[in-house]
Structure 1
Amino acid sequence: MEHRKLLLVANTGPEHVGNYLYQAAVSMGIDAAVHHVQLANKGPRWAVAAAWRLDRRPLRLGQYGKSLIERCAQFQPRLVICVGIAPVSRSALLAIRRMGIPVFDYLTDDPWNPRHYARWFLQALRHYDYVFSPRRANLDDLKRHGCPAVSYLPFAYSEDTHLIRDCRTATEDSSGPDIVFVGGADSDRIPFMAGLLQANFSLRLYGGYWERFPATLRNAGGIIPPQEVQRVTASARIALCLVRRANRDGHVMRSLEIPAMGGCMLVESTVEHRGLFGEEGQAVLYFQDIPELIRKARWLLDHPEERQRLRAAVHRRITSGGHTYRDRLCSMLACSALTTDSEAERSHARMGTDR
């Protein structure tokens, strides 16, 4: 295999996409390095907070850009992949491109979400060589914004972090809650949880900020490591999957992680979810509102054999091929010179209809 160098601009914490892409690159024999985005906010908390209030700006945006340019000069990657709303200014991005290094962005968040909206990032965004988005809802926005190349690229699962090889080894915890949800406490998610609790379901919520809402305070389990997420998902009777509406999501990271972990899914109905999981009852059950969520959760609790069938069906559907972060990395590499012919052929076949 030819020598290949890839520089990731990312957070490689254990639950982040950057970590999964780095694992995938190493498994493919790519010489991969990471320029950690946390460096852009190194400083006193008050200063970081003040800079963030000013146009969502990282505290050390300029210094980070200079250090990234220096890293590129030293490491000489064939490709730079930024993940999310990366702290790379327009001037830094253009400087890297002048070095002959293409720069891609796997845009894991919606930059038009009011929580993420930052003029400095939008100024830089149109200068990426390629932007990949895991949400169809903003593809046209990205094209209108002036991004030269845009493709839909869904989230995935990590074979190292999420995958249970045989979901028959997943056994439900008879003493555990009826329903488990892993994700942040967005305000539009609270009514769903309040509805389940009012309907007397036992519920456990993992992720940030659930303790801030009176309705979910007692059910908050905090942020837990990936190994524990895998355990609680596999042992839950029902694993709930909600999108983030402010992000215009059609699916989320958990949409692919839950099947790999062997969970029985009750899924918010979206076009993207139905594309992933098929018709109702093939691999998951869908809901569109709180009454339907409650009704289908009760049905699943009353039908343990169906829970096991659905658990196996969705695991088989998602893990049978094409949904790992290695697959996603191959798709991005296929749009650069940093790929082998066989990888390019497979990846273009997967992406052909999404451009």
Structure 2
Amino acid sequence: MKILSIGTMSGLSNTCLHRHWALEKISDEIDVVNTRIKPISIWFRIAYRLFQYGLPIRLPDNSSANKKIKEFISKAVKSPYDIVWIDKGVTINSKTLRYIRKLSPNAKIVSYSPDNMALRHNQSQNYLNCIPLYDIHFTTKSYILQDMQRLGARKTAFTNKHYEQTFHYPRNLSENEIQRLGGDVGFIGAWEKERCDSILYLAKNGIKVKVFGDKKWNDYKTENLEIAPGIYSEDYSKALQAFKISLCFLRKMNSDTQTSRTMEIPACGGFMLAERTTEHLDLFSENKEAVFFSNDEELLEKCRYYLINEEERKRIVEGGILRCKTSGYSNEESIKRMLKIVVNND
């Protein structure tokens, strides 16, 4: 299977890069186009803001990704790609997809995004123009399939979140790493009001919480709440494991029912305490492979209980690791399933 893989390939903790790694394992011939070689420009930020105001302004392609895609396609006319995989192609233009269709009519053009692409803050005018030109859209949001069809998608398919088995896995942590990265209760992620309120509730009630996140968290420093800068690379995976309890909050602005950490925390050997949703309950057996909460009172109760019940924590951690493996939640297994759908989508 010959694949052209397109997306943001920078940063070791970048999930787009992780999906590319999985494609590399699956494909016997793969080329790559990085859509984020250069930093985001001022004009990019202005164009994005104007688009959010409702203007049909396209985002600039600062990394010349569209040009590079066309170059790869033109060179591969005699041996065309089977799959053109575009990971959240907000800077990819409709002319580029039409060029692919013209020179490689049998290639399957695939759109994948881990975000809610039915919401404007995740979109671009470039992306909206391209929606009808993809053969299939894969989304991790089960509730937007009809929304995507209304936007012009020809075919949509839901896939759960995934983890990267070469990056998210249990490590032998040193005492120094446990002290530096761990704590009683921890969270890694951006500030959002709802999750901040829940964490402040824990801190107010005597639970020590450590947050690795953006600068907005600094406005909420208080007793029992430690704020540290965001962490990436291997420290990210190590921290998920180092916490006695790793919190998994869902992003309200995307109406999430599962998130990347849903898979990453258990896969890393972390104890996951996550918001209770139907999808979470389907993915992990409650109190056997993960623990869930529906409100702040239950969150506090579960933290208090599991902080003093280490053996139960260890048992649930082992159950979560095993579930990730046996249910095929890894990038490689998940993308194999997606590509099977693509190949059979005739």
Please indicate, yes or no, whether the TM-score normalized by the shorter chain is above 0.5. yes
The offset of 1:236, in angstroms, is 1.2
Does structure 1 residue 54 correspond to structure 2 residue 58? no
The offset of 1:148, in angstroms, is 1.4
Q: 1:314 aligns with which of 316, 320, 326?
A: 320
Secondary structure in 2 matching 1:329: helix
The offset of 1:117, in angstroms, is 3.9
Distance, in Å, in 2 between the alignment partners of 1:124 and 1:284 is 39
Does structure 1 residue 31 correspond to structure 2 residue 32? no
TM-score scaled by length of structure 1: 0.84
In the alignment of these two chains, the number of paired residues is: 330
| 2:247 aligned residue | 240
Q: 1:152 aligns with which of 137, 154, 158?
A: 158
For 2:273, give the aligned amino acid: L
| 2:110 aligned residue | 104
Describe how 1:1-355 pairs up with structure 2 within 5 A: 4-13=1-10, 14-39=12-37, 42=38, 45-55=41-51, 57-60=58-61, 64-75=65-76, 76-99=80-103, 100=105, 101-164=107-170, 173=178, 176-215=182-221, 219-278=226-285, 280-337=286-343
Secondary structure in 2 matching 1:38: coil
Distance, in Å, in 2 between the alignment partners of 1:272 and 1:309 is 22
Distance, in Å, in 2 between the alignment partners of 1:67 and 1:267 is 41
For 1:194, give the aligned amino acid: L
For 2:66, give the aligned amino acid: G
For 1:22, give the aligned amino acid: H
Specify whether residues 44 and 271 from structure 1 end up closer, same or farther in structure 2 by C-alpha distance, changes over 3 A only.
Answer: closer
The offset of 1:128, in angstroms, is 0.9
Distance, in Å, in 2 between the alignment partners of 1:174 and 1:63 is 44
Distance, in Å, in 2 between the alignment partners of 1:64 and 1:22 is 16
Unaligned runs of 5+ in 2: 53-57
TM-score scaled by length of structure 2: 0.86
Distance, in Å, in 1 between the alignment partners of 2:29 and 2:90 is 21
For 1:269, give the aligned amino acid: R
| 1:351 aligned residue | none
Q: Name whichever of 241-250 and 117-126 sits farther off.
A: 117-126
| 2:55 aligned residue | none
For 2:73, give the aligned amino acid: C
1:256-285 deviation per Cα after TM superposition (whole angstroms, max 9, x unaligned): 11111101111101111111012x312221
1:285-338 deviation per Cα after TM superposition (whole angstroms, max 9, x unaligned): 11111111111111111211111111111111112241111112212221344x
Specify whether residues 66 and 269 from structure 1 end up closer, same or farther in structure 2 by C-alpha distance, changes over 3 A only.
Answer: same
Q: Name whichever of 30-39 and 63-72 sits farther off.
A: 63-72
1:47-69 deviation per Cα after TM superposition (whole angstroms, max 9, x unaligned): 23222222164223795423322
For 1:144, give the aligned amino acid: R
For 2:67, give the aligned amino acid: K
For 2:42, give the aligned amino acid: W
Secondary structure in 2 matching 1:298: helix
1:164-197 deviation per Cα after TM superposition (whole angstroms, max 9, x unaligned): 3xx8x57994784211112222233211221122
Specify whether residues 84 and 188 from structure 1 end up closer, same or farther in structure 2 by C-alpha distance, changes over 3 A only.
Answer: farther
For 2:4, give the aligned amino acid: L
Distance, in Å, in 2 between the alignment partners of 1:65 and 1:124 is 13
Secondary structure in 1 matching 2:258: coil
Query: What is the RMSD of the two structures over their aligned residues, measured on CA atoms?
Result: 2.6
**Identity among equivalent pairs (%):** 22
Distance, in Å, in 1 between the alignment partners of 2:242 and 2:219 is 26
1:12-34 deviation per Cα after TM superposition (whole angstroms, max 9, x unaligned): 23122221122222223532222
The offset of 1:43, in angstroms, is 7.1
Q: Name whichever of 64-73 and 295-304 sits farther off.
A: 64-73
Specify whether residues 138 and 63 from structure 1 end up closer, same or farther in structure 2 by C-alpha distance, changes over 3 A only.
Answer: same
Secondary structure in 2 matching 1:262: coil
For 1:250, give the aligned amino acid: T
